[in-house]
Amino acid sequence: MKTEHIRCLIIGSGPAGYTAAIYASRSNLQPVLYEGIQPGGQLTTTTEVENFPGYPDGVNPFDMMSDFRRQAERFGAEIRSGEVTKVDFSRQDGVLKVWIDNDLQIDADAVIVATGASAKYLGLETEQTYKGKGVSACATCDGFFYRKKTVAVVGGGDTACEEALYLSSLCKQVYLIVRKPFLRASEIMQQRVKEKENITILFEHNTLRLTGNDKVEGADLVYRKGEKDERQVHIDIDGFFLAIGHTPNSALFSDYLKTDSQGYILTDGDTPKTNVEGVFAAGDVADPRYRQAITAAASGCKAAIEAEKYLQ
Ligand code: NDP
């Protein structure tokens, strides 16, 4: 197998990875960034980005990530397509080992993990049909497109309540589809949701399918109470928001990097330092709380600054 030595390896091509590449290349670390299976990251699943500073008229997420990429390349970062298939951070030979597509071994001095997180979906066929056409996993990103419209949010946790509250300030009507007879969210969030006149909570409802022509126009739900009471319900909606949790893309590193109970990589205080010296985590893979492009970019910047200090 071919082996290559790299000073600063960046894994992931969302805002965190590319920002790390911009800073690392300007610090002369000759970074190499691997894009992974979703070049541009989670942002590319949305239709328009309107809340990233510097784009007053909004921006197509592909254009934005292409700008990030060009900016990194301008200072010498090397962007490669390829997927990390295995790592060995035990530092047995003093280096951090990373395998790409099972056919290249990289010996790195520093690694920035910016592999992001993936929103969970229900697994319905129609979810895929309408992805970006009424189906979204981020109210903060896409809610604005549903002003004065009717939307549904799926989930009963803090994220679902937060998204429902956010959407209730923009939309005419919000349905909260909860599979259990109660919310799992914190008391205060539950209270706020229940007090909002334009939020209707549909307890013990599950989504069967989304309906519509070229975009979401409705959802068929099933209401189930016990074994006997079961009926189908249809709601007319313009948007369908998933808020049933995220999965941080950290499984590959779990033998070496400490994570919380949900798999988010733990970092040292406000820094991107992980428990392995020379390995830094940036963006959503280490952030269960904010999950925004701008906060991911900021943590990518921090990771590159720390990597530079470490390599010195
Ligand atoms: P959670 O895991 O807390 O909640 C997920 C919700 O989605 C649950 O109600 C769950 O139902 C439901 N769900 C899961 N799978 C399905 C499915 N297939 N069909 C229907 N419903 C489903 O995730 P969150 O993202 O809400 O929160 C993650 C963590 O982040 C939590 O610890 C939360 O407290 C925290 N958080 C804190 C915030 C804050 O403090 N402001 C804001 C947002 C999150 P069920 O209950 O039946 O399992």
Nearest CA to ligand 1 atom 36: 158
In the prediction, which pLDDT does 53 show? 95
From the number of C-beta atoms within 10 Å of its C-beta (0-12, 13-18, 19+), residue 96 rates as: buried
**69, 154 Cβ separation under 8 angstroms:** no
Nearest CA to ligand 1 atom 25: 245
* Angle at 99 (CA atoms; ends 94, 103), nearest 5 degrees: 130
From the number of C-beta atoms within 10 Å of its C-beta (0-12, 13-18, 19+), residue 61 rates as: buried
CA–centroid distance, residue 154 to ligand 1 (Å): 10
Q: What is the DSSP letter of 271?
A: S
Work out which ligand 1 atom sits closest to the CA atom of 122.
Answer: 18
Work out which ligand 1 atom sits closest to the CA atom of 161.
Answer: 26
What are the C-alpha distances in Å from 27 to residues 12, 52, 285? 19, 25, 24
CA–centroid distance, residue 177 to ligand 1 (Å): 12
Cα pseudo-dihedral 123, 296, 286, 300, rounded to 10 = 130
Give, rounded to a whole angstrom, the gap between the first and last alpha carbons of the chain.
30
What whole-number percentage of the chain has pLDDT above 90? 84
CA–centroid distance, residue 188 to ligand 1 (Å): 15
Nearest CA to ligand 1 atom 1: 157
- pLDDT surpasses 70 at 58: yes
Band (pLDDT 50/70/90 cuts) for residue 45 is: low
Average of pLDDT values for 12-18? 97
Of 266, 253, 283, 251, the C-alpha closest to 116 is 283
For residue range 89-98, what is the model confidence (pLDDT) as tens digits?
Answer: 999 999 999 9
Nearest CA to ligand 1 atom 32: 158
Ligand 1 within 6 A of CB of 248:
no
What whole-number distance in Å separates Cα of residue 297 and Cα of residue 18? Answer: 8
Band (pLDDT 50/70/90 cuts) for residue 291 is: confident
- Ligand 1, pocket-test mutation among 127, 153, 154, 158, most atoms within 8 A of CB: 158
CA–centroid distance, residue 184 to ligand 1 (Å): 7
Nearest CA to ligand 1 atom 9: 156
pTM, entire model: 0.78
- Ligand 1, pocket-test mutation among 182, 244, 262, most atoms within 8 A of CB: 244
For residue range 224-273, what is the model confidence (pLDDT) as tens digits?
Answer: 987 788 999 999 999 999 999 889 999 999 999 999 999 999 999 999 99
Q: Which residues of 143-174 are buried (b: 16+ CB within 10 A; e: fewer)?
A: bebbeebbbbbbbbbbbbbbbbbbbbebbebb
Is beta strand 135-136 parallel, antiparallel or unpaired with respect to 239-242? parallel
Band (pLDDT 50/70/90 cuts) for residue 176 is: very high
Residues annotated as catalytic are: 138, 141-142
> What does the mean pLDDT of the chain come to?
95
CA–centroid distance, residue 246 to ligand 1 (Å): 9
In the prediction, which pLDDT does 40 show? 86
In the prediction, which pLDDT does 44 show? 78
**213, 111 Cβ separation under 8 angstroms:** no
Work out which ligand 1 atom sits closest to the CA atom of 160.
Answer: 26
Band (pLDDT 50/70/90 cuts) for residue 107 is: very high
Domains within the chain, CATH numbers bracketed: 2-118+246-311 (3.50.50.60), 121-242 (3.50.50.60)
Cα pseudo-dihedral 166, 170, 172, 173, rounded to 10 = -10
